[in-house]
Amino acid sequence: MIAPSLAQSPVWGQCGGMGWSGPTTCVSGASCVFSNPYYSQCLPGAASSSPQPPRTTTSASSASSTAQTSSGTAGGASPTSTAIIGQPTGPGLNKVAKASGLLYFGSATDNSELTDQSYLAILDNTNEFGQLTPGNSMKWDATEPSQNSFSFAGGDAILNLAKANGQIIRAHNLVWYSQLPSWVTNGQWTNATLTAAMTNHITNVAGHYKGQVYCWDVVNEPFNDDGSFRTDVFYNTIGESYIATALRAARAADPNAKLYINDYNIEGPGAKSTAMINLVKNLKAQGVPIDGIGVQAHLIVGELPGNIQQNLEAFAALGVEVALTELDIRMTLPATDALLQQQQKDYQTVVAACKAVPQCIGITIWDYTDKYSWVPSTFSGQGAALPWDQNLGIKPAYNGILAGL
């Protein structure tokens, strides 16, 4: 049998776009259709046989968005970007991820963003996103701002949105050193009293969402980069055992939810990854419930750690799930075509590493658009970290994710 020509892209494959050096024609039964300046795609049965510009109408909102891009924004959209506002043509990231064997491809979101109808239209599209993570509204300061006084309105709003769409919720998070109300950080605690307060918090918050979420990030960011335990009110008062206590309380409160420990800078092998491996081994040896390791994957363009797949395999060998839970890949602004192309390659590398590990069950980007990225306000001079730009148009990174899947 003669192998198919490498000069043609398959159905759903890329066939054109800025910087594209691959095939520009499609296999029989598919045609190359323009999606945006960065991406043309082989679509089944499409009428056009060559990349065609989209038919769009100009509106006040799109003109305003274009002006924002040209004048420079915090999110760092490419100065040459003319990406189309709205959803890309094609099967969608979540649809491709599920076809590739993953449980979901998802996005973080936050309550204030849900009033943005253009943003919401993309977030609601289950072809793109099969899972949501509330970025802030299930954290301790939001859910128990004063002791034993609970507030669930923000978390409920995102949960209800996900339910209406048929999307999975990754619940985030129960115990973390940051975003704690002052009554926790400044309390005069003993081991016994803080253990009781922490257990009460987990019991009420996880209990409120019992049976409605896929998993909980039970303990978030317990390690320093050198692999030592982070010193915070929980570790300083209770010791390492606070982690086991939190996991047991979460299991009791929401028995069917998967229980994760979530951290950053554990994408590749190193002291912090080794510490996570040792912790999970110790928890399992004690009979403590632990179902997953969340690999946040806040990364930098052109600076990916080596051996990501090998590291995910080492986590999976512990008998737990693995997920990329907060993926973004930031760059030093301004964004250039060269940086955007490298970002596309980096997204492909990371996503492909997850896909190659059967126990890596899902990928979440930390919001999907530069418009709402946390990066510029946290890392001065950096941004443009996500696959959708400031104007909700797709970037080359989107195509890197597709290629990785």
Task: Report, as residue numbers or ranges, the catalytic residues.
Answer: 221, 326
Residue 125, preceding peptide bond in cis (omega within 30° of 0): no
Q: How many CA atoms lie within 13 A of 39 on its CB side?
A: 29
Question: Do the beta carbons of residue 203 and residue 253 sit within 8 Å?
Answer: yes
Amino acid at 275: A
Query: Contact, 347 vs 401, CB < 8 A?
Result: yes
Burial (0-12, 13-18, 19+ Cβ within 10 Å), 398? buried
Q: Is the separation of the CB atoms in 328 and 379 below 8 Å?
A: no
Residue pair 384/78 in contact (Cβ under 8 Å)? The answer is yes
Q: Which residue has the tokens 């034993």?
A: 148
How would you list the strands of the sheet with 14-16, edge to edge?
A: 14-16, 39-44, 30-36
d(CA 190, CA 319): 34
Residue 323 near residue 373, CB atoms below 8 Å: no
CA distance 220 to 231: 13
Residue 236 identity: N
18: Cα separation from own chain's centroid: 26
Q: Where are the beta strands (DSSP E) in 136-210?
A: 168-176
The β-bridge partners of 14 are 41
Question: Rounded CA gap, 400 and 344, in Å?
Answer: 4
The helix (run of H) or strand (run of E) holding residue 217 is strand 215-220
3-class state of residue 398 by DSSP? helix
